[in-house]
Structure 1
């Protein structure tokens, strides 16, 4: 809210919404990042995006290490839970890997993006835009300094390669990246890495293909381009960005209702655990599908890639999915009850906030003060994770009595 951060007077609500959207790496915006924020203001947003992408616990460990302070056993336990690690021995090495991956990927991404942004905006402005978009893309934030997003670069080859590579790498998770670089292919990879790669390999072609089929003749999106390659390029970018990154190279408000519904489902799935992405996560979605298939095949044990998946993991998937759906539907209910808007636009906004995606059907500017507060809360819960909320509210008790099994009719 300081004068050196903005080019015009903004309200506390504007500042709080923007800060929350940045630190939760969401990308929903009530301000024009390029026009309403000065260079200093854009730097503040970039720093918040970087901290939010690293994660609170990872950042805390880096601060302790820089100050020479011991993390302690409690800190190790919290970090282990935050990064989904079963062993505390590998935690510090994983944190170092995270920092290396962030610096290398964002640096290379910024250098590559200069090929697109410097010719467009001049040397210094183009250089800054390259750095800003590289940080925003790798952390799956979706913030852009251009008023209409990346629409002016809809068919630019550099943008359509570098930006997706950055948010795909950032979205698969640091654990997967570490596994890919430190172990041999296939046999040396963990079950988590294999499931994450399988889910990503299925979801990307599916989302790209469905977007192309549904929007091919829509004059507001793909139909505006006569060239078949141009339509395919836009389908590629918009298909892969939907689950978490939130960049757009076409008008999201002009999407068919069927495409918007597909986007909602993809935003709720999100990216990978221990990544810069939100949603219930790809691994959760895959385990849920495997558990459903196992039930109909009358299997008493769930397994994948020659490894069994314990009951505790399946219950965790059920809890995560249930809490997420409750939060999303509660958010939609509250928003529809307090706003006179199109139901699909509101549902899209809530799903985008929960999945920390940042795509919008031009509804963010229509939010009231109360609506902004609701979206801020959903963005926060979507970033810290529904299970964190569950663990915070629940207490762990050891059962002292075993009850006889009862008969229950389901379905």
Structure 2
């Protein structure tokens, strides 16, 4: 004889009611918890002589069972669930996992744009073809970067449907990756001669001095820091005796909060101590002696003594670089320059990754160390191999 069919997780069996006297009923049932174990759950109803069939006890039991069900179970996600609802759930899960506030704000903004193309699409309607069409519309309207962010959001959102056994596979995996119509140029690295020339122009520029660009750009040249890391530097991070600067945080803009300094870096590898060249030590030592700038908690504050906005800082540099004769040099160019100089000196990619705060050495090699240069050493090496001990051919 077959036994009772197994309950699904989050499902309850038949509710039974037992009268205990005095207007009090006891409601009971079997319930399969999230750990897969089936347990007997019971609740007493309030004393009520008018409750002839134990409805109050049954209502109390059903209410208690709702609290035992997982928040994202099959009852909350189905084929009729809107895809954008899952996008919102995915972003909230990222927040629970500790994703940075800046990233979450970016994803929420992207989601508002994606909703124009996906607002009424349900999970059961989210075919690869329909998702591909929406992402291509995103690229046409808002650019390739936002389209790629949308693809990431949709993949995470529909994975929730897979996890809840609503979909057998994630349809986003069959959607072609979003590519830019134009190949990105990337930041341009400077040669050692160009760096020396730029430093001379920086120190001679009255406009740079008035906008307080000379010292922070000098530190970017000397360290290859990210803008957010540079503007988060505090005087307590500077050790003049050891000739080092410690990277302990970053400046970000949070929605509804404005600019904040957070004691975290982009990756775990971002928290690091950087040795400074002599010209950077001299710059910081002189800056700390100035009556206003040396009295602030951060090394490079705004004119009001508050945190300086990384985006505004980048805009100031873009407006002044034409005057200095370096129109194509972005603030990120200095970061790439440091990586390239490390490579030119024959230092390992691991040293470059540690200095720049990259979590993966491959990032330093693939994105930051310049490619396509002429390596005369290779020709010299082949000459030596062919020549051997017999002299030139």
TM-score range, shorter chain: under 0.3
Which structure shows the higher strand fraction?
2
Question: If the length of structure 1 is used for normalisation, what is the TM-score?
Answer: 0.22
Higher-Rg structure is 2
Given the two structures, how large is their TM-score scaled by the length of structure 2? 0.23
